[in-house]
Amino acid sequence: MELTNKRQKSQYLRLITFLLFILSIVFLQTSPHVLAETPEDKGLAIAIEADKRDLGYRSLTADMLMILRNKHGQESKREMRFRSLEIMDDGDKSLIIFDSPKDVKGTAFLNYTHKVGDDDQWLYLPALKRVKRISSRNKSGSFMGSEFAYEDIAGQEIEKYTYNWLRDEECEGMDCFVMERYPVDKKNSGYSRQVVWLDRAEYRTWKVEYFDRKDAHLKTLTFSGYEKYNDRFWRAAQLDMVNHQTGKSTELQFSNYVFNVGLSDADFNKNSLKRVK
């Protein structure tokens, strides 16, 4: 009886804390992690704050260079262009257009990220002028033969994971949060969990460790060359993904970031896929 009471009490307390914490976010009066009590709440609060700091970018374009390396150091390169559109009440829309290798030039990948449920994805094949709807459940599949999976490239919506703050520690010479995140779509994700390092000052991600479904350390992603755009938005110039199980790695460079470029829904539909070059 007493036990139940205690449990009820603690649940009650947790609810109150949670409400306070939500209120604190809503009114932006305090730093969100101060009131958070449990590691789960704190982890979620960190994710929400990181996401909030990126709100309002509207649309952006960037150039991507992907360098694939096998364990012998042999390289192959892929050039792409990236376009993204912020959607207010759902996940973002993004478009990736391939420029090289030349045999895939003009191929384009369109993704509607959803906060809840499967994303919508299409692939445009320019030789046939064919737009193919593809299944977004292949999220653990390799993106263009690289060490990045589709789920690593897609929009990292808050709702795609549950969170657990682990500890604070120094990373890259800064004070950092270390938290775990668990994919909500456990069945189709290639990961059991990810460990993420973010700096406390700007909530930029510096490192992600990926653990496979058997919970073995599979990959590590590191971010470098952060720059601030439009006085607000931090973006890394380089992402390095290393696969510890195969010795292969992929370097992903971003350049020519332009924010608020005035793209609209019309630039992210099947028609626009057909006219990209």
Partner 1 sequence: MKKLLPIALLLSIFATWDLPAQAFEINGYVALEGRLFMQDSLYIGQEDNNASIAMAPEFYHESPSGSSLTFVPFYRADSADSERTHFDIRELNALLVHDTFELRLGIGKVFWGVTEFVHLIDIINQTDLVEHIDGEEKLGQPMAHLSVPADWGVLDFFVLPYFRERTFPGRDGRLRTPLAVDTDNAVYEHSSEENHVDFAFRYSQIFNFGDIGLYYFKGTSREPLLIPSVKSNGRTVLLPYYQLIDQVGMDLQLVTGNWLWKLEALYQDNDTKNYFASTGGFEYTFVGIGDTMIDLGLIAEFAYDDRDDEATTPFDEDIFGGLRLGLNDPAGSELLMGLSYDLDNKGNIFQLEASRRITDTIKIFLESWVFFNTEPGDYYLYSIRDDDFIRLQLFYYF
Residues within the interface to partner 1 (CB under 8 A): 68, 70, 76-77, 100-106, 114, 117-118, 120, 128-130, 133-138, 140-142, 145, 188, 190, 266, 269-271, 275, 277
For residues 2 and 260, what is the distance between their CA atoms, to the nearest angstrom?
Answer: 57
The DSSP output letter for 20 is H
Per the CB < 8 A criterion, the answer to whether 157 and 113 are in contact is yes
Query: By C-beta, is 138 or 224 nearer to partner 1?
Result: 138
Shortest distance in whole angstroms from residue 272 CB to partner 1:
9
Query: By C-beta, is 43 or 91 nearer to partner 1?
Result: 91
Query: By C-beta, is 105 or 217 nearer to partner 1?
Result: 105
Mark 100-109 as b/e (b = at least 16 C-beta within 10 Å): eeeebeebbb
For residues 122 and 131, what is the distance between their CA atoms, to the nearest angstrom?
Answer: 7
Shortest distance in whole angstroms from residue 43 CB to partner 1:
28
Q: Computed over its alpha carbons, how large is the radius of gyration of the chain?
A: 20
Shortest distance in whole angstroms from residue 235 CB to partner 1:
25
Query: By C-beta, is 98 or 206 nearer to partner 1?
Result: 98
Query: By C-beta, is 30 or 264 nearer to partner 1?
Result: 264
Shortest distance in whole angstroms from residue 12 CB to partner 1:
38
Per the CB < 8 A criterion, the answer to whether 55 and 192 are in contact is no
Per the CB < 8 A criterion, the answer to whether 120 and 114 are in contact is yes
Query: By C-beta, is 43 or 183 nearer to partner 1?
Result: 183
Query: By C-beta, is 22 or 67 nearer to partner 1?
Result: 67
Query: Helices then strands (H, E): number in the chain?
Result: 5, 15
**Strand pairing partners for 60?**
84, 259
87: its two tokens: 């959607």
Shortest distance in whole angstroms from residue 267 CB to partner 1:
9
Instruction: Report the run of H or E that residue 190 belongs to, with start and end.
Output: none
Which one, of 177, 149, 211, lies nearest residue 50 by Cα? 177
60: its two tokens: 């952006």
Shortest distance in whole angstroms from residue 74 CB to partner 1:
8
Shortest distance in whole angstroms from residue 103 CB to partner 1:
5
